[in-house]
Every structure is written in structure tokens, then in C-alpha cells.
Amino acid sequence: MALGSWSNPYGAIGGGNASTGDLTMFGGAPASTKSGGFFSKLGGSDMWGALGGSLISGIFAGRAANTAANAQLQAAKAADWRAGQSILANRDTAKFGEGSKLQNQQWNEIASDNELRRQQRAEMFDINTLAPLRAGASLDFARQMQGVENSETARELRQQKNRENLRYNTALKASDMNRMFGYVPERGLG
């Protein structure tokens, strides 16, 4: 498309009359479709403008790619560092778990040893202190019982019980004899 045939329906500055491509309204020379540049005056074409633009675009694109590659490298290094830290944290957690198991085992051994010593002390207290006290109390109780059994009141109570048993047995035998042989007169036994 030729530069002079272009038109802007919205005006030169975004408002106003439509443009016909005549740039003289800005105070410059009329637009020309004639190509030319610094090198065209030397007898060559003006391909250097296109090459220069490509070169500049290529430099900036290379810089952008380099920046992106550096960002990816930094992200990879950060991810690698996080993975390393995660491994170290997992190792620390495993070490803590093993240490905790060892501590629990040691505590359980100490606690069971303490319990065994407590039971031994309780048994020795029972043998050395409580058993003689129990034996003495039992002996005192036996002496008291013997004293009660040998007292005058205890003897009278035993004799009374024996007399009652004798009367009961005599009455029982007399009843049995009456059933077998008829009435047998009672004999006085006291």
C-alpha cells in the first residue's frame, strides 16, 4: 500500500477530520513513496534499516530469553534447595523419632527397675516389720482366747452347754425308744 493512499477515518490526532495521508499538516514535506536512506545515497539499497531493526529486536529478544533462562535457573536452584532442605528436615524428623524411641525405652527400663525395687522394699517391710507384728498380735489373741477359755465363766458356760446337749440327746433317744418299744419311764439323770 502506498503511503500517500492511506487514510485515517478518525482524524490525524484521534479526532477531527479524516486524514488522507498528507503529512504536510504537521509542517513537514509531502509524504513520498520513494525509498532511500543513508546507504541508498551511496548506491546501495536501504536493507540496513530492516537489518538494524532485526538486529536490535534480536538483541532484546536474546536478552529477554537470557533473563527468562536465568529466572528458570534460579527457580530450579530454589527448588533444589527446598528439596535438599526437605530431605534434611525428614532426616531430622527420623533422628528425633529414633531418639524418642530410645528415650522411651530407657524411661521404661528405669520405671520397671524402680517398680521392682519398690516391690522388693515392700516385701522386705512385710517380712521384717509386719510379719513379727502380725505374729505378736496373733500370739496375743491366742493368749487372750486361752485366758477366756480357762476362766470360771467360760467353764460354767461349757458345763451348761454340755448339760443341755445331754438332756436333748436323752430326750431324743427316749423318743426313739418310745417309737420302737412303747412308753419307757424316764430315769432321772440329774
Q: What is the pLDDT along the chain (190 residues), one digit of tens a residue?
A: 445 555 555 555 555 555 555 555 555 555 554 555 555 555 555 666 667 777 788 888 889 989 999 999 999 999 999 999 999 999 999 999 999 999 999 999 999 999 999 999 999 999 999 998 898 888 888 888 887 778 888 889 889 999 999 999 988 888 888 888 877 666 665 5
Is residue 181 within 8 A of residue 173, CB to CB? The reply is no
Is residue 30 within 8 A of residue 2, CB to CB? The reply is no
- H or E, element range at 137: helix 131-149
Cα distance between residue 169 and residue 157, in whole Å: 18
Does residue 39 sit in helix, strand or coil? coil
pLDDT number for residue 109: 92
Tell me the whole-structure pTM to 2 decimals.
0.30
pLDDT number for residue 101: 92
pLDDT number for residue 1: 44
Cell of 99: 531418639
pLDDT number for residue 175: 85
Q: Which of 173, 157, 179 is nearest to 189 (CA)?
A: 173
What is the Cα gyration radius of the chain?
64
Which residues, 6+ apart, have CB-to-CB distance to 10 below 8 Å?
18
> 36: how many CB neighbours lie within 10 A of its CB?
10
Which residues, 6+ apart, have CB-to-CB distance to 4 below 8 Å?
21, 22, 31, 32, 33
Does residue 119 sit in helix, strand or coil? helix
Cα distance between residue 48 and residue 39, in whole Å: 8
